[in-house]
Structure 1
Amino acid sequence: MIKDIRTYKLCYEGINEERDALAVKALAEHPMEIVVTEIETSDGQVGYGESLAYGCSDVVKVTIDKILKPLLLNEDEELIENLWDKMYKATLRFGRRGIVIAGISGIDIALWDIMGKKTKKPIYKLLGGAKKKIRAYITGGYYSEKKDLERLKDEVAYYVKMGFKGVKIKIGGKSMNEDLERLKAVKEVVGDDVRIAVDANNVYTFEEALKMGKELEKLNIWFFEEPIQTDLLDLSAELAKALEVPIAGYETAYTRWEFYEIMRKKSVDIVQTDAMWTGGISEMMKIGNMAKVMGYPLIPHYSAGGISLIANLHVASALGTEWIEMHLRRNDLRDKIFKEQIEIDDGHLVTPDRPGLGYTLREGVLEEYKCKS
């Protein structure tokens, strides 16, 4: 039975100077910020999950503490699907997207962590998967006053040296010509052996995205991620039809219902989703299997803490995806949260065979990175 649910707001300031296009245009950026959910059972098992908390950790924490926790106390922790439905249906009038689904995501991941620990199996095996290594592409090329073209080239050269065969560069935060110059500089470094994708973080209008997409085709760009606002699915479908460069997205969508519309409308060529905000491991598996049925490749998104990265990795292994997203910019909530080191082998993330998520939170980490306010 679920004995207690505890939540922790964690922050890391170290990457605050780097921005994507959305943050540049908003003239603001938040620190790396996550909400960690800790679930304890009556038989002493403890599991951990992570929720989306981009500048909204206070609200995510309150949602879990005041709304979701009372629904789950004294419930059977093994009935994960039933508990997901209970949370979702109890919050229909004010949930279905956003903060509530972010809270459900962290709880769901923690429940799967407990299930793996109880059965002494890694989550990917509980989900029926077999793939042990997933090729990672590295997202970089963030905007920074300290990063000129030479530093950008040095950054990408480091990724290539580590064995990664795909990189993704941020666009949309500078003029189109400036961003194209940045991409040409990256292409000089990686050559023809490494794939280059781009991410506009939803900032373009349809006309801007169409114009940029035509230029990206000339550079043989791998995919064009989140070119326009996620809500504009019909326009995104027009882009996908008009452009040869594949449209990827939308990680900013929530749950199977929204992703069904994305796929039904043919708004993307590549589906991207993330366990920390789409509804957890349970919902991400549903989206991934729906993508298989409808003929779309899925590439898990990643941008926050280590728990969500490993949750995404287990789902990727279960679904047998070819690629997964990874970051290498400084982030203690990824690199210093676990006792164990996240395993990378020749450009691949290695799925752990240890029970549950397969990683143990380092003692004292919840206090060390506790948000100051």
Structure 2
Amino acid sequence: MKISEVKVTKLSSKEFYERDALAVKGGAEHFMDVAVVSVVTSNGEIGYGEAIAYGILDVVSTTIEKIYRPLLLGEESSNILGLWNKMYKTTFRLGRRGVTISSLSGVDIALWDLLGKELGSPVYKLLGGERRRIRGYITGGYYRQDKDMEKLLEEVKGYIEKGFTSVKIKIGGLSVQEDMKRLNAIRENFGNSLNIAVDANNVYDFNTALKVGRELEKLGVMFFEEPISTDLPDLSAELTRALDIPIAGYETASTLFEYRDLITKRSVDIVQVDASWNGGITEMVRIGNLARAFGLPVVPHYSAGGISFVASLHSALVIDSPIIEYHLRYNPLRESLAGEAIRYENGEFLPPDKPGLGISLDERVIEKYRVE
């Protein structure tokens, strides 16, 4: 079908910011800003995607509507790879990281949703993925002034009670000693049956990351995420050689080309990709295939709205991901943008079974959080 329109709906939740958005000590990262992309065909069918838009909703919206929309109008919606290349080609003067790729990702996800609806198949089946369950891990342990050790342990206990046996805890916002005290308390209270990963969000220099990594090894931590800057792949490679704990990253990279360097340099032991950030479903599957060729697992990243998670879930079913990230912190734009496409039992996510992404948007929530 021919593409007749491309639109962006800007959504933002201040409640998310006020309740539990703290990833670093002393301040929230952002409101929960989500750009929902709608690609409409000549027969009225609509495909939905999501672009990460933390603090830059207007920029993402303008990028899609002014740069990508004119390239797409009148094109065949099923020509997804051709349209991806066409959009990517326009970025060579604008920068091939950040907002241009996140915006492209939202469009790409919407095109796959459209194709699945047109052919009556879930996206992962179109791409040859296996119908199976994927184990999830829950990211938490965010810093808050009112979150003492007791509340941290209560939080982790809540994840376990929901059936999850793997958690990821934020580190890097306190001293190394304070962070290790938090991790030791989790290990002592829940034992070795709980898998613990950590996320430093690029905050350490090499020497600090090496010191922290050696402490994490003593605790049997599952992986050490983004210990240093994404801009330093050679130093990250040195870190992977120096430590036994797997180094995971870097979701702040963009497209197959940047991941090519991370993978071939062996800058990571675990590749993390996000469909709504790194180039869409198209690029996430490409990155997954490259990682497989080098014997590296792909563990999808997640931190935004519900469409983002579902898009990565479909991709994960194609590239044989062993585990996927999820959040249970308050986020009104998670299930409300995904509906029954997000289902889990005993800590495992069930594959979506409806055509396309399988999502069902709650229009009441969209109207409540819409930004004009």
State the TM-score bracket (shorter-chain normalisation). over 0.9
Note the C-alpha offset of 1:191: 1.2
Note the C-alpha offset of 1:212: 0.6
Alpha-carbon contact 1:302-1:308 (below 8 Å) kept: yes
Residue 164 of structure 1 aligns with which residue?
164
Matched, 1:6 2:7: yes
Residue 150 of structure 2 aligns with which residue?
150
Alpha-carbon distance in 2 for matches of 1:36, 1:59: 13
- Equivalent runs, 1:59-138 vs 2, <5 Å: 59-138=59-138
Alpha-carbon distance in 2 for matches of 1:214, 1:63: 43
Residue 305 of structure 1 aligns with which residue?
305
Note the C-alpha offset of 1:255: 0.2
RMSD over equivalenced CA pairs, Å: 1.3
Note the C-alpha offset of 1:19: 4.7
Specify the code of the residue in structure 2 equivalent to 1:51.
Answer: A
- Equivalent runs, 1:180-199 vs 2, <5 Å: 180-199=180-199
Alpha-carbon distance in 2 for matches of 1:220, 1:143: 22
Note the C-alpha offset of 1:124: 0.5
Matched, 1:16 2:17: yes
Note the C-alpha offset of 1:34: 1.0
Specify the code of the residue in structure 2 equivalent to 1:334.
Answer: R
Residue 274 of structure 1 aligns with which residue?
274
Alpha-carbon distance in 2 for matches of 1:20, 1:268: 26
Specify the code of the residue in structure 2 equivalent to 1:12.
Answer: S
Alpha-carbon distance in 1 for matches of 2:140, 2:125: 31
Specify the code of the residue in structure 2 equivalent to 1:246.
Answer: P
Residue 256 of structure 1 aligns with which residue?
256
Residue 42 of structure 1 aligns with which residue?
42
CA separation of 1:260 and 1:20: change in aligned 2, threshold 3 A: farther
Note the C-alpha offset of 1:196: 0.2
Task: Write out per-residue CA displacement over residues 283-334 of structure 1, whole angstroms, 9 at most, x where no aligned residue.
Answer: 0000001000111011000010000100000011112211000100010100
Alpha-carbon contact 1:131-1:318 (below 8 Å) kept: no
Matched, 1:211 2:215: no
Q: Mean Cα displacement is larger for which, 329-338 or 259-268?
A: 329-338
Alpha-carbon contact 1:240-1:268 (below 8 Å) kept: yes
Alpha-carbon distance in 1 for matches of 2:200, 2:75: 42
Residue 356 of structure 1 aligns with which residue?
356
Aligned to 1:244, the other structure's residue is in SS state coil
Residue 57 of structure 1 aligns with which residue?
57
Alpha-carbon contact 1:20-1:170 (below 8 Å) kept: no
Alpha-carbon distance in 1 for matches of 2:75, 2:208: 50
Aligned to 1:268, the other structure's residue is in SS state coil
Residue 225 of structure 2 aligns with which residue?
225
Residue 177 of structure 1 aligns with which residue?
177
Structure 2's unaligned 5+ residue stretches are none
Aligned to 2:25, the other structure's residue is in SS state helix
Note the C-alpha offset of 1:28: 4.8
Specify the code of the residue in structure 1 equivalent to 2:59.
Answer: V
Note the C-alpha offset of 1:54: 1.4
TM-score w.r.t. length of structure 1: 0.96
Alpha-carbon distance in 2 for matches of 1:370, 1:121: 30
CA separation of 1:302 and 1:54: change in aligned 2, threshold 3 A: same
Alpha-carbon contact 1:298-1:321 (below 8 Å) kept: yes
Note the C-alpha offset of 1:367: 1.9
Residue 369 of structure 1 aligns with which residue?
369
Alpha-carbon distance in 2 for matches of 1:341, 1:84: 25
Alpha-carbon contact 1:249-1:272 (below 8 Å) kept: yes
Aligned to 1:132, the other structure's residue is in SS state coil
Specify the code of the residue in structure 2 equivalent to 1:71.
Answer: L
- Number of residue pairs aligned between Structure 1 and Structure 2: 370
Aligned to 1:302, the other structure's residue is in SS state coil
Alpha-carbon contact 2:310-2:338 (below 8 Å) kept: no
Alpha-carbon distance in 1 for matches of 2:167, 2:105: 27
Note the C-alpha offset of 1:248: 0.3
Alpha-carbon contact 2:299-2:322 (below 8 Å) kept: yes
Alpha-carbon distance in 1 for matches of 2:339, 2:303: 21
Alpha-carbon contact 1:10-1:35 (below 8 Å) kept: yes
Aligned to 1:221, the other structure's residue is in SS state coil
Task: Write out per-residue CA displacement over residues 332-365 of structure 1, whole angstroms, 9 at most, x where no aligned residue.
Answer: 1002234437211110111111100011111233
Note the C-alpha offset of 1:20: 5.1
Alpha-carbon distance in 2 for matches of 1:324, 1:200: 18
Alpha-carbon distance in 2 for matches of 1:49, 1:188: 42
Residue 296 of structure 1 aligns with which residue?
296
Note the C-alpha offset of 1:168: 0.2
Specify the code of the residue in structure 2 equivalent to 1:34.
Answer: V
